[in-house]
Amino acid sequence: MTTDHGSAFIAADVRLLRADQGGRRSPIRSGYRCNCWIGHQDADGRAYNDATIHLVDSDLLAPGHAAAARIQPHDPDSWTQISVGSTIELCEGPRTIGFATVTELFPAGGS
């Protein structure tokens, strides 16, 4: 399922890379803001979209671990091609620090 207007929230399983895999050295907190690569390209290469990650069952997620989360796109209309099963790269600048696999979409505007 994709949405015509983007998603207000995206439920996802988030996995952070370990530091030796190029990931962070410290955990993220619920409310962490990051760049996401969802497949957009521009003249310079990858175009990133901002989002906030809200962890569902804890306040912290350590590198090398996974957790359920809700991802809140900052510009939902830019996320219209996301569907259940999509993989989102979580980035700090150009560096990939983890991945999120979409499990459910919560469209903007209800339903």
Residue-range definition of the domain harbouring residue 53:
7-107
Tally of domains within the chain: 1
Give residue-wise pLDDT tens across range 60-80: 999 999 999 999 999 988 888
| Cα separation, 91 vs 24, whole angstroms | 10
Angle at alpha carbon of residue 4, lines to 66 and 35, rounded to 5°: 40
* 35 falls within a domain: yes
For position 49, which CATH number holds? 2.40.30.10
* 39 falls within a domain: yes
* 2 falls within a domain: no
| In contact, 5 and 68? CB cutoff 8 Å | no
Give residue-wise pLDDT tens across range 12-71: 999 999 999 999 999 999 999 999 999 877 777 788 899 999 999 999 999 999 999 999
Q: Evaluate if residue 107 carries a pLDDT over 90.
A: no
* 103 falls within a domain: yes
Give residue-wise pLDDT tens across range 7-17: 789 999 999 99
* 72 falls within a domain: yes
